Amino acid sequence: MFTGGTAPGGAGIQNVGGTLNATNCAFTGNSATHGGAIQNVAGQVCLSACVFTNNQAGAGGGALENSGTLMADLCTFVSNSVAGTDGTRGNSYGESGGSGGSAVGGAIYNVGTLAISRSTFTNNSVVGGSGAGGYEGLYGEFGGNGWPGGSGGAGGNAAGGALYNAGAAQLINSTFAFNSAKGGNGGTGGAGGDSSYGSGALGGAGGWGGVGAGALDNVGDLRMINCTFVFNSGSARSEEHTSELQ
């Protein structure tokens, strides 16, 4: 069992150019930026009857990130996740908030060659980071008008609650259920600067919410045979309101 590990890449196993075979292994509660449990970099990985539960990543591949060749048969992926980083708030008058980070591949992020058979993906998720708030506008002095507040940052996009494929993937006799993707919330616009004698300024615009794309997001080559998708979801998050005129 591989449990509770932390690392920049592959907190359970990082395979760089090697050959890895794993049978009846469990990967639980591991956390990395790329590939929470396993990161395969230009190597070959073969998994049989392995279980991946509650692993997480900060960028892509809550359980697995693959840029080599990866084959998985009779494997189970449950409650793995990716959460994008939140944006940074503006820190000077009128500065916009930073955008939230994207999140891809709640269970698997693939840019290599992937073959999945007789496997299940359940309750895996991706959530885009929230956009940060804009900084308030500058106060108008000596009869001048106030300055506008900074715009809120955009929420991060989320793609592939279970699988994000930008490589070549084949899925056979596999089931995807209750996986989800949610875009991050947009940041709040900063308050407009006031003025004693001139006009107050408008607050900054709220950031757009991020887009969420369901259980599987494919931008590469994908072939599916006899697969089942049920009760998966994808949703955008809210745009925060613009601050009012001061």
| pLDDT score at 211 | 59
Q: Is 177 helix (H, G, I), strand (E, B) or coil?
A: strand
| pLDDT score at 240 | 47
The rounded distance, in Å, linking the Cα atoms of 135 and 104 is 29
Residues 30-65: tens digit of each pLDDT: 999 999 999 999 999 999 999 999 999 998 999 999
Which residue type occupies 45?
A: V
- Name which of 75-79, 131-135, 160-164 the model is least confident about: 131-135
Q: Give alpha helix (H) positions in the chain.
A: none
The rounded distance, in Å, linking the Cα atoms of 137 and 77 is 48
> What H or E segment, with its residue span, contains residue 159?
strand 158-159
Residues 126-149: tens digit of each pLDDT: 998 888 777 666 545 544 455 566
- Tokens encoding 32: 């990395």
- Name which of 48-57, 151-160, 182-191 the model is least confident about: 182-191
| pLDDT score at 244 | 41
- The backbone torsions φ and ψ at residue 137, rounded to the nearest 5 degrees and listed phi first, read -75, 160
Checking if the pLDDT of 204 tops 60, the result is no
Checking if the pLDDT of 180 tops 60, the result is yes
The rounded distance, in Å, linking the Cα atoms of 183 and 181 is 7
Sheet strand arrangement including 120-122: 2-3, 26-28, 51-53, 76-78, 120-122, 175-177, 228-230
In angstroms, what CA-CA distances link 218 with 19, 70, 91, 159, 232? 26, 17, 38, 9, 15
| pLDDT score at 195 | 46
Checking if the pLDDT of 71 tops 70, the result is yes
